[in-house]
């Protein structure tokens, strides 16, 4: 299972670490202690993906920041949905305040290990969205 530290989760959602901690304290997203070492607080990737979708659908979401982004930018985000058939895959991501959708071969999605909760980077140029793993 993919997990994220609070700072990583906050970056993916485009909020501050403090906001992420408040959401955890309020029960908006579950958190656990990383048992693999360090004892840091982590959130599950699939829970983070669900929260990202909820935030993207929220009517008060800041949509004005899109005008500040160049078409050549690379945006880090979290995969929220992958729909595959035998040939193609549709990959939905939330990158801060932006929802990105990429169409690629199912083989490429498998090779990248794309599934809800996984961190990925989208490269946007013209009408193409390229997804890669950091």
Mean pLDDT of the chain: 84
Give the model's pLDDT for residue 37: 66
Higher pLDDT, 40 or 63: 40
Query: For residue 11, which of 87, 95, 88 has the smallest C-alpha distance?
Result: 95
* Domain boundaries along the sequence of the chain: 3-57, 64-132
Residue 47 tokens read as 């829970």
At 127, the pLDDT band (50, 70, 90 cuts) reads low
d(CA 55, CA 23): 12
Q: Where is 107: in which H helix or E strand?
A: helix 106-112
| pTM of the shown model | 0.59
Higher pLDDT, 105 or 68: 105
Architecture of domain 64-132: Beta Barrel (2.40)
At 126, the pLDDT band (50, 70, 90 cuts) reads low
Residue 49 tokens read as 């993906």
d(CA 119, CA 44): 12
> 3-57 and 64-132: same fold?
no
Fold of 3-57: Multidrug-efflux Transporter Regulator; Chain: A; Domain 2 (1.10.1660)
- Given a contact cutoff of 8 angstroms between Cβ atoms, the answer to whether 90 and 64 are in contact is no
At 132, the pLDDT band (50, 70, 90 cuts) reads confident
| Average pLDDT of the residues in 3-29 | 91
| Average pLDDT of the residues in 110-121 | 94
Listed in sequence order, the residues at least 6 apart from 94 whose beta carbon sits closer than 8 Å to its beta carbon are: 12, 13, 49, 52, 53, 55, 56, 77, 78, 80, 100
């Amino acid at each position: 299972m993919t997990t994220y530290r609070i700072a990583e989760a906050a970056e993916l959602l485009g909020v501050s670490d403090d906001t992420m901690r408040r959401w955890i304290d309020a029960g908006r997203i579950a958190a656990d202690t990383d048992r693999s070492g360090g004892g840091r607080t982590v959130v599950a990737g699939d829970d983070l993906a669900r929260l990202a979708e909820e935030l993207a659908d929220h009517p008060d979401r800041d949509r004005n920041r899109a005008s500040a982004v160049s078409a050549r930018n690379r945006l880090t985000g979290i995969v929220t949905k992958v729909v595959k058939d035998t040939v193609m895959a549709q990959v939905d991501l939330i990158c801060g305040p932006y929802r990105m959708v990429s169409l690629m071969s199912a083989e490429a999605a498998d090779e990248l290990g794309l599934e809800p909760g996984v961190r990925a980077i989208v490269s946007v140029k013209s009408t193409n969205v390229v997804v890669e793993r950091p």
